[in-house]
Structure 1
Amino acid sequence: MKIFKYLWISVLLASTSCSDDYFDVNGSETAPTTTSLAPQYRIQGAIENTTGTAQYRGMREVLGIVQYGSQNVADYYSETWSSFLTTGRYFLWQNAYVYALPNTADLIVLGEAYDSPNFVAVGKILRAYILGMTTDQYGDIVIGDTYDGKSSMNITPKFVTQEEAYKTILQLLDEAILHLDEESAIGLNQEGGDVLYNGNQENWKKFAYSLKARYLNHLSKKTSGEMAYNPDAIIEACNNAIDSNELNAQKNYGGGEAENDNQPFSANGYGSSRMDFFSDFFVKLLKNPLNLTIPTQDPRLEIIVPEAVNGGYQGVVIGRGLAGESPDDYSLGNGGFYTSASSPTYMITYSEVKFISAEAKFRKGDKAGAYADFKEGVRADLEKLMVPADQISDYMTMLDMEVGEENLGLSHIFVQKYIANVLNPETWVDMRRMDYSDAIYHGLKRPENVNLDIFPNEDDWIQAMMYEYNEEDRNYENMPDNNPYVRLTTPLWWNTAE
């Protein structure tokens, strides 16, 4: 079913005579927005729409770019950057603007109406998160003309540049941090809706600082002006950010009968068809993450990747599919640590914060500090995956022997961050910032059967996503150039060196 942005919301807001169950967004991640409920009944729906609709869809189509998972058939469009991907049949835009952002807008409005600034803060944090994912996939986006919970709909909204979007994102996070210090008439978890932090304001602040560090870190190619890369600001944000695995921002699933109670990329999830197998690149990387002459297998391999029916761990080459081979020879994409029914969706984790800090310190020239953060990021991820203590100790010893402070490079940081951020769209940001370098991500190659019409050269990689066709049909006068030869190949603002 096609649901059209803005128009759908207008109809929805005129339909308040529907049943209470239909509008119970605290119990459903796909229920629509409404301002008829107090904020404590809206927070869970806002969180679940952020992860279960926006983040999931933001990851689904880029699986073949970041190469975590692979299809069982050759020439699948999202793996070869063709077909629907070149005609705007890609729906993060819809999921962000129809489902996710309206819930954050209502949470802000309701927080203000009920003298509860903590809900305003959560609305702004989630809004910053969604806008960040959206601009990082498209570039220029709509912000000021989106549904705001107060104004009438605008079906021809204006776009802002990605630079302006980033300023708004950082402003939202700064404002949210201040709101979380204010007194609220209603507690964040009064009705059990705060499924991230159970009403703990300090933990929400750490989440906000973590996101601030992430978005500031994206500016690594910017060297001048108001938005220049500032490692000290990144490090400061990291120092106030998530500081343990217990505070990881994650949406948990129960693995129950309801489809939306299952991890989207699990066998029973609504995105399972995109995760048929783990990829050849990812499996090989886990078999030798430090790129050693004598390969040393990562202890996370057997936790993340299921063993093939016929034994061993083998991934499918992106774009090739099974090519007539038996699926029993390959590792299924469903059933590992990140792809089981009750696997969480991770928004941002302690390990990512430490890798962000490590990168900032490395770029600043503080190799000792960078290596300490790098090691802590690795340790945090090993502990998150519940690797046995003796294996963690052995792995950390190996890092000291094979890497060490003097030999630490960006490749070490980014490979470990890639392993720690499985199924997080943040990985695509990193790969583009690193220019898809196989010197950073050893063994990285373009998919087989890639669309040579738009990407004729070996060093041509996809840089952004097409705006959706329904936006182009309705709002072409305001929308940036959506020619696939331009949209898919033009680096985003933060990825353009100054």
Structure 2
Amino acid sequence: MKILKYSFIALAIIATSCSDDYFDVNSSETAPTTSGLAPQFRIQGAIENTTGTAQYRGAREIIGVTQYAAHHTKAYESNSWTNNLTTGSYFFWQNAYVYALPNTADLIVLGKKYNSPNYTAVGKILRAYTFGMTTDQYGDIVTKDTYDGESNMNITPKFVTQKEAYQTIFTLLDEAIAELQQPSSIGLNVEGGDVLYDGDQQKWIRFAHSVKARYLNHLNKKTSGDMAYNADAIIAACEAGINSNALNAQQDFVGGEAENQRQPFAVGGYGSSRFRYFSTFFVNLLKNPLNLAVPVEDPRLSIIVPEAVNGGYVGLDVGRGLDGDPATKYSAGNGGFYTSPTSPTYMMTYSEVKFIEAEARFRKNDLTGAYTAFKEGVRADMEKLNVPSTEMNTYLSLLDAKIGATNIGMSAIMVQKYIANMLNPETWVDMRRMDYSAAIYPGLKRPINVNLDIFPGSDEWIQGMLYERNEEDRNYINMPSNDPLIRLKTPLWWNTSEQ
């Protein structure tokens, strides 16, 4: 990955509310910034703001909700479902709308201006991806009234329902797939800016199909209407999607001194202070991911969690904090496969595509096909993590013996997908779709010290995020209710049977 050198858009009136943004490197304005530019000089900024600001921040703020990590203080917001999450001091919304989405809008406009539909297509894919992450954390979002690269920024935009947001996502992806098959005057990588796929339009097409499969798969509770769950459509999208680890959509890092050269969750990275320790739930899951009476440790454990404590791996309970215990009692959350300075940020992987396919085939009662896709997803993730072939083959044989097509179930699929999608905010979607079920995720329980003022019932789980205070202050007329008792506890549209 190159050091960032391209223009980024930001709203000064929004950006000044947060001084520690990952890519806060340029001045801000509300007017379009496409004048005098060509799309090849904007593609890198569009990609890296999608991952480095939007996806990273979306993952950081829910890291205790997804229970990959635990913080050393018990009151940390995503551990206890309080503070930033309940007061609106949560900047994923800002990072999406101030940094990521304006760059995608400019890329779309410049692609049209320079007769390069490939750039317009990439802008639409990244735009769909960012809209998807945003609506999956908030519900109703802004799509039509946000910055479009041609008009001045509207600071009081209208919101659309999540259903409408999903319709926009699918439209953007379908248009992008078509546009990537059209001739373009400028190659995607003529300036080295395509840091995702090096200008390979066919890989972008497969990425777009994969993203479409992800969002179609979220509709599993929709049984009728124009957005009803369609397993065959999901499987078709998977088959047209990412088909090897070589096509994984990932942002690479060189491990340099600059913040944007390092994995955000690594030591010295922007988010390292948020990822203090691996959680008890995650560590224990890796110790017995097949939920066997006689535990069998996953060979990925020592690769993901590099620090053994007193001869083993010890996670910290989410929400408990150290509470006087020495930090050396717990496995530190850095230095592993996902948390080293050169660790990539994965947008979407081959293994996720196979787990999506496995779920769709399982739901249509194709158990043999579901197991085949499931096993390939596990194999792909182990290869991604460079698990030694002997250990990998032993584990895959164990899957045949203990699961196979006869015993394949949703728990096996979702546990392996949880492991493979570490640090991806998509995991929170899965946990909510699965109703936070301990039958699906063995050992899952609410954090210690959870905010009982909002979640008094033992069966209540966090469902969404509050909109940021600056959005509420500026656009309260248009935005939905931001009452924590509503926003944090109401299931999103895709998590209900409502059409």
TM-score relative to the length of structure 1 = 0.94
**1:16-55 aligned within 5 A:** 30-31=25-26, 34-35=33-34, 36-55=36-55
State how far apart, in whole Å, the 1-side matches of 2:182 and 2:13 are: 35
Q: Deviations over 1:409-449 (max 9, x none)?
A: 00000000000000000000000000000000000010000
Deviation at 1:355, TM superposition (A): 0.2
* Secondary structure of the structure 1 residue equivalent to 2:302: helix
**1:88-167 aligned within 5 A:** 88-167=88-167
Match of 2:459 in 1: 459
Q: Which moved more, 1:300-309 or 1:277-286?
A: 300-309
Q: Determine if contact 1:32/1:99 at 8 Å carries over to the other structure.
A: no
Deviation at 1:10, TM superposition (A): 11
Deviation at 1:404, TM superposition (A): 1.1
State how far apart, in whole Å, the 2-side matches of 1:283 and 1:250 are: 24
Q: Determine if contact 2:101/2:127 at 8 Å carries over to the other structure.
A: yes
* Secondary structure of the structure 2 residue equivalent to 1:133: helix
Q: Deviations over 1:163-220 (max 9, x none)?
A: 0000000000000000000111100000000000000000000000000000000000
Identity rate, percent: 68
State how far apart, in whole Å, the 1-side matches of 2:491 and 2:169 are: 20
| Structure 1 unaligned spans of 5+ | 12-27
Deviation at 1:9, TM superposition (A): 8.3
Match of 1:393 in 2: 393
Match of 1:285 in 2: 285
Say if 1:104 and 1:32 are closer, same or farther in 2 by CA, change over 3 A: farther
Deviation at 1:308, TM superposition (A): 3.3
Deviation at 1:390, TM superposition (A): 0.6
Could you tell me which amino acid in structure 1 is paired with residue 333 of structure 2? G
State how far apart, in whole Å, the 2-side matches of 1:76 and 1:477 are: 31
* Secondary structure of the structure 2 residue equivalent to 1:346: strand
Q: Deviations over 1:138-184 (max 9, x none)?
A: 00000111001101221110000000000000000000000000111
State how far apart, in whole Å, the 1-side matches of 2:398 and 2:413 are: 15
State how far apart, in whole Å, the 2-side matches of 1:51 and 1:155 are: 24
Match of 2:332 in 1: 332
* Secondary structure of the structure 1 residue equivalent to 2:254: coil
State how far apart, in whole Å, the 1-side matches of 2:153 and 2:259 are: 31
Match of 1:18 in 2: none
State how far apart, in whole Å, the 1-side matches of 2:46 and 2:55 are: 12
Match of 2:4 in 1: none
**1:63-462 aligned within 5 A:** 63-308=63-308, 310-462=310-462
Q: Deviations over 1:110-140 (max 9, x none)?
A: 1111110000000000000000000000000
State how far apart, in whole Å, the 2-side matches of 1:10 and 1:255 are: 27
Q: Determine if contact 2:347/2:424 at 8 Å carries over to the other structure.
A: yes
- After the TM superposition, which parts of structure 1 deviate over 4 Å for at least 4 consecutive aligned residues? 4-11, 28-33
Could you tell me which amino acid in structure 2 is paired with residue 493 of structure 1? W
Deviation at 1:82, TM superposition (A): 1.1
Q: Determine if contact 1:308/1:328 at 8 Å carries over to the other structure.
A: no
Q: Determine if contact 1:306/1:336 at 8 Å carries over to the other structure.
A: yes
State how far apart, in whole Å, the 2-side matches of 1:322 and 1:279 are: 12
| Structure 2 unaligned spans of 5+ | 1-8, 17-22
Say if 1:463 and 1:301 are closer, same or farther in 2 by CA, change over 3 A: same
Q: Determine if contact 1:6/1:155 at 8 Å carries over to the other structure.
A: no
State how far apart, in whole Å, the 1-side matches of 2:195 and 2:83 are: 38
* Secondary structure of the structure 2 residue equivalent to 1:250: strand
State how far apart, in whole Å, the 2-side matches of 1:201 and 1:386 are: 27
Q: Determine if contact 2:12/2:27 at 8 Å carries over to the other structure.
A: no
Deviation at 1:6, TM superposition (A): 4.5
Match of 1:15 in 2: none
Match of 1:17 in 2: none
Q: Determine if contact 1:180/1:201 at 8 Å carries over to the other structure.
A: yes
State how far apart, in whole Å, the 2-side matches of 1:261 and 1:462 are: 33
Q: Determine if contact 1:29/1:48 at 8 Å carries over to the other structure.
A: no
Deviation at 1:30, TM superposition (A): 4.6
State how far apart, in whole Å, the 2-side matches of 1:403 and 1:347 are: 29
TM-score relative to the length of structure 2 = 0.94
**RMSD between aligned alpha carbons?**
1.5
